Amino acid sequence: ALIAIGCGSGQKGFDPEYVKVTNERAQRIVDDLGISSGDKEIIVRDIIAEQYRSLSRIQDDRDAKIQALDAMKMTEIQKDEAIDKITSKAQKKIDKLHSKYIKALERNLTEQQVVQVKDGMTYGVVPLTYKGYLEMLPALTKEQKEVIYNYLVEAREYAMDAGSSDKKHWWFGKYKGKINNYLSAQGYDLNKASKDWQARIRAEKNN
């Protein structure tokens, strides 16, 4: 059975231009999935586009509430507490939305296709970065590769929900920091490894 979450319902109250943009963004992701049925393709596209709009609704509401605090008379401490409260409330909604969204994708797609959707929403950073680490550090053990990959996958779950390209990249940056700390603790000199890798790339180009 094909199940969609609130198809069309999320379009209410949105600027038609934004609806068009989110539909097109979702369609680009769907185009790479190789879905054979046209009906199913539309359902999956609507699930993805609806997710973009729902995230935007929660994030815009959160940002507007935080902005409104500027007009209120309160101390810095009170303001910080109010921001924390607003942010944490919004985050709960986003977490709930995330899990509902993944379930809707899983009902309509294979495991591999769900991963493709996640990569599509995050500019393919996971496979690109993972490949980079493997090329930079050819001596990585199976366990070290797993740790790197799992950190990147965890970052992707957060990045999927981020409201801007900058924020998506910020999540990957944060987790790359964790990966680099882990690798340093494992005895890798990442500065040297990076320089050696760049030298190998240059040598290959010149050959």
Average pLDDT over the chain, rounded to an integer: 92
Q: What is the pLDDT of residues 25-55, one digit of tens each?
A: 999 999 999 998 889 999 999 999 999 999 9
Rounded to whole angstroms, the Cα distance separating 65 from 141 reads: 48
pLDDT at res. 12: 57
Rounded to an integer, what is the distance from CA 44 to the centroid of its chain? 18
Whether the pLDDT of residue 6 is over 80: the answer is no
pLDDT at res. 7: 40
Report how far apart, in Å, the C-alpha atoms of 15 and of each of 5, 18, 153, 193, 204 are. Answer: 20, 5, 33, 49, 50
Residues with Cβ within 8 Å of residue 56, at least 6 apart in sequence: 18, 163
Tallying the residues shown for the chain, one arrives at 207
Work out the pLDDT band at 131, boundaries 50, 70, 90. Answer: very high
Which whole number is the average pLDDT over 120-124? 97
pLDDT at res. 206: 87
Rounded to whole angstroms, the Cα distance separating 62 from 87 reads: 7
Lowest mean per-residue pLDDT among 2-16, 84-98, 102-116, 141-155: 2-16
Whether the pLDDT of residue 110 is over 90: the answer is yes
- Work out whether the CA dihedral 102, 56, 26, 49 comes out positive or negative: positive
Percent of the chain scoring above 90 in pLDDT: 87
pLDDT at res. 36: 87
Q: If you ran DSSP here, which 8-state letter would residue 14 be given?
A: S
Q: What is the pLDDT of residues 153-177, one digit of tens each?
A: 999 999 999 989 999 999 999 999 9
Write the DSSP assignment of 74-116 as a string of letters: --HHHHHHHHHHHHHHHHHHHHHHHHHHHHHHHHHS-HHHHHH
**Measured in Å, how far apart are the chain's first and last C-alpha atoms?**
54
pLDDT at res. 38: 86
Q: Give 12 or 192, the one with higher predicted confidence.
A: 192
Cβ proximity of 122 and 160 under 8 Å: yes
Quote the pTM value.
Answer: 0.88
- Work out whether the CA dihedral 86, 87, 90, 96 comes out positive or negative: negative
